[in-house]
């Protein structure tokens, strides 16, 4: 947390970013790039701004309650919320050119009231609290509290270029402090507030930024050199690059998606990482899948999902999403599982994964698939809960094709 208040100009930036996200519907990363471009912000100051924006978004309803401001009015009354945020965290108020003041006595009373309301205290919107309770029962309150915490920064070593120990040493020389992550051999946690992407290690492809939970998912694919592997919802390739490293650049790794711009991004990343066995292919129609029938040793389906396991990292989604989106996604996941599983050859492995913690997208989805598909047998599954290790929340299940 901050030890001294934001400057006036940083406060303005925080308010501009939040207004864009909350009142103009812009994604958070675009709001940052819009507001930061052309500014020569020191990495430390940029870190302080993103810390405040992140925390305000993670517990927005709490801070708005304490400031007595409706989220819809953030554009006009955001300065009051920012003042309340500073007061809440025991900081002097920032010196903004123009700001709405708070009444400290009233704020004290409202903070005491909010403490009695656990969902509000954890920054959870009502619709999400109801969904979490219904899906996760006793587990939900711990998950809800864990989702209100700031995410840690993790990177994945690229074994095509170096070992984890070599990466750690070279990063230290560039002023970036890291610690090893127990139980995830490829992961380092970044503990200093450094500009990772300006480092030579990054430019030379020695690492990728990737949550440790996500690294566990790609680990479970267990691809070997020489195999034929399909990553069918590859996006910009977070897990593809990890799988390419498992394969030591040998064999065929096909990365597919329905969005070409993501695959273009993947190609750039694969080049930097020295992952030469990656081929990309757009999924233009069901024929693209049919042509690959019974052809792959491994098929990873990292399906589109609610993203409710990664809300620490994408807290803006809480204020944009609605519960109506979930059944639509569950249906799409079901179709993808049904259709894309045809690519797995006999004895090959199907890996289904989400960045959600909700059973409806996870084990229930897999159970329904297995009930309708006797060609597959269940191997195992892993629930990566946010409260367990502090990683993002993920789920994965592994299944084997036993007959055509
Ligand atoms: C959870 S993201 C994948 C993240 C990626 N695997 C990674 O590790 O960076 C899901 C991806 O599925 C893609 N997608 C959506 N509908 C799809 C479909 N019908 N078939 C294949 N991919 C789809 C999305 O474009 C998105 O990139």
22 φ/ψ sector (left φ>0, alpha ψ -120 to 50, else beta): alpha
* Distance in Å, CA 237 to ligand 1 centroid: 9
Q: What is the pLDDT of residue 207?
A: 98
218 lines ligand 1 (CB under 6 A): no
**Cβ proximity of 376 and 400 under 8 Å:** yes
Distance CA 242, CA 282 (A): 20
234 lines ligand 1 (CB under 6 A): yes
Q: What is the pLDDT of residue 7?
A: 96
- Name residues whose C-beta falls within 8 Å of residue 359's C-beta, 6 or more positions apart in sequence: 135, 136
Distance CA 179, CA 197 (A): 18
Ligand 1 atom closest to Cα of residue 217: 8
Q: What is the pLDDT of residue 183?
A: 95
Helices (H), 89-237: 104-115, 118-121, 126-136, 140-147, 164-173, 200-203, 212-221
- Name residues whose C-beta falls within 8 Å of residue 98's C-beta, 6 or more positions apart in sequence: 79
**Reported pTM:** 0.96
* Distance in Å, CA 305 to ligand 1 centroid: 9
Ligand 1 atom closest to Cα of residue 237: 9
- For ligand 1, atom 6, which residue shows the shortest CA distance? 234
* Distance in Å, CA 254 to ligand 1 centroid: 14
Respond yes or no: is residue 233 known to be catalytic: no
What would the 3-class secondary structure string for 197-216 be?
HHCHHHHCCCEEECCHHHHH
- Name residues whose C-beta falls within 8 Å of residue 381's C-beta, 6 or more positions apart in sequence: 362, 363, 366, 395, 396, 397, 398
Q: What is the pLDDT of residue 44?
A: 86
Residue 211 marked ligand-binding: no
Q: What is the pLDDT of residue 43?
A: 81
Ligand 1 atom closest to Cα of residue 332: 19
Query: 235: which 2 tokens?
Result: 């996006």
Residue 129 marked ligand-binding: no
* Distance in Å, CA 352 to ligand 1 centroid: 12
342 lines ligand 1 (CB under 6 A): no
Only one residue has tokens 């139980």, namely 183
The mean pLDDT value of the chain amounts to 96
Helix (H, G, I), strand (E, B) or coil at 297: strand
Mean pLDDT of 39-65: 94
Mean pLDDT of 343-368: 98
- For ligand 1, atom 26, which residue shows the shortest CA distance? 235
Distance CA 258, CA 263 (A): 9
**Cβ proximity of 147 and 311 under 8 Å:** yes
Q: What is the pLDDT of residue 195?
A: 83
258 lines ligand 1 (CB under 6 A): yes
Handedness of CA 77, 80, 84, 86 (dihedral sign): positive
Q: What is the pLDDT of residue 42?
A: 87
Mean pLDDT of 278-283: 98
Is residue 194's pLDDT more than 90? Answer: no
Helix (H, G, I), strand (E, B) or coil at 330: helix
Mutation choice for ligand 1 from 216, 304, 310, 314, CB with most ligand atoms inside 8 A: 304
> Could you read off the pLDDT of 284-299 as tens digits, one per residue?
999 999 999 999 999 9
Q: CB-hemisphere CA count at 13 Å for 313?
A: 20
Domains along the sequence of the chain with CATH: 8-116 (no CATH), 153-209 (3.30.70.1170), 213-401 (3.40.50.150)
DSSP letters for 20-75: HHHHH---HHHHHHHHHTT----HHHHHHHHHHHHHHHHTHHHHHHHHT--GGGHH
Q: How confident is the model at residue 193 (pLDDT cuts 50, 70, 90)?
A: confident
* Residues above pLDDT 90, as percent of the chain: 95
> Could you read off the pLDDT of 78-136 as tens digits, one per residue?
999 999 999 999 999 999 999 999 999 999 999 999 999 999 999 999 999 999 999 99
283 lines ligand 1 (CB under 6 A): yes
Percent helix, percent strand, percent coil in the chain, to nearest 5: 50, 15, 35
281 lines ligand 1 (CB under 6 A): no
Distance CA 294, CA 304 (A): 23
* Residues above pLDDT 70, as percent of the chain: 100
> Could you read off the pLDDT of 250-261 as tens digits, one per residue?
999 999 999 999
233 lines ligand 1 (CB under 6 A): yes
């Amino acid at each position: 947390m901050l030890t001294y208040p934001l400057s006036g100009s940083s406060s303005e930036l925080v308010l501009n970013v939040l207004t864009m996200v909350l009142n103009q519907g812009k994604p958070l990363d675009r709001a940052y790039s819009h507001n930061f471009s052309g500014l020569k912000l020191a990495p430390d100051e940029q870190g302080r701004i993103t810390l405040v924006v992140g925390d305000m978004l993670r517990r927005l309803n709490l801070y708005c309650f304490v400031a007595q401001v409706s989220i819809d009015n953030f554009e006009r009354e955001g300065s009051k919320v920012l003042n309340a945020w500073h007061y809440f965290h025991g900081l002097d108020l920032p010196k903004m050119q123009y700001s709405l003041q708070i009444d400290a006595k009233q704020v004290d009373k409202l903070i005491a009231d909010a403490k009695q309301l656990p969902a509000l205290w954890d920054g959870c919107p009502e619709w999400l609290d109801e969904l979490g309770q219904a899906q996760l029962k006793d587990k939900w309150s711990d998950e809800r509290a864990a989702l209100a915490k700031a995410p840690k920064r993790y990177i994945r070593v690229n074994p095509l270029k170096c070992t984890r120990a070599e990466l750690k040493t070279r990063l230290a020389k560039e002023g970036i402090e890291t610690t090893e992550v127990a139980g995830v051999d490829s992961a380092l946690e970044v503990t200093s507030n450094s500009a990772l992407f300006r480092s030579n290690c990054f430019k030379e492809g020695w690492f990728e930024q990737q949550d440790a939970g996500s690294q566990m998912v790609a680990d479970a694919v267990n691809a070997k050199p020489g195999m034929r592997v399909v990553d069918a919802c590859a996006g910009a390739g977070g897990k593809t690059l990890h799988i390419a490293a498992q394969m030591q650049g040998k064999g065929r790794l096909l990365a597919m998606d329905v969005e070409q711009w993501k695959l273009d991004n993947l190609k750039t990343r694969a080049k930097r990482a020295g992952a030469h066995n990656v081929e990309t292919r757009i999924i233009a129609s069901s024929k693209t899948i049919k042509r690959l029938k019974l052809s792959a040793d491994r098929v990873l389906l990292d399906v589109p999902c609610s993203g409710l396991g990664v809300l620490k990292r994408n807290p803006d989604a809480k204020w944009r999403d609605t519960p109506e989106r979930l059944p639509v996604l569950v249906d799409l996941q079901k179709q993808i599982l049904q259709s894309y599983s045809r690519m797995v050859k006999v004895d090959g492995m199907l890996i289904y994964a989400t960045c959600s913690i909700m059973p409806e997208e996870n084990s229930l989805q897999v159970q329904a698939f297995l009930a309708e598909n006797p060609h597959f047998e269940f191997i195992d599954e892993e629930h990566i809960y946010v409260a367990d290790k502090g990683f993002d929340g993920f789920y994965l299940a592994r299944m084997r094709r036993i007959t055509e």
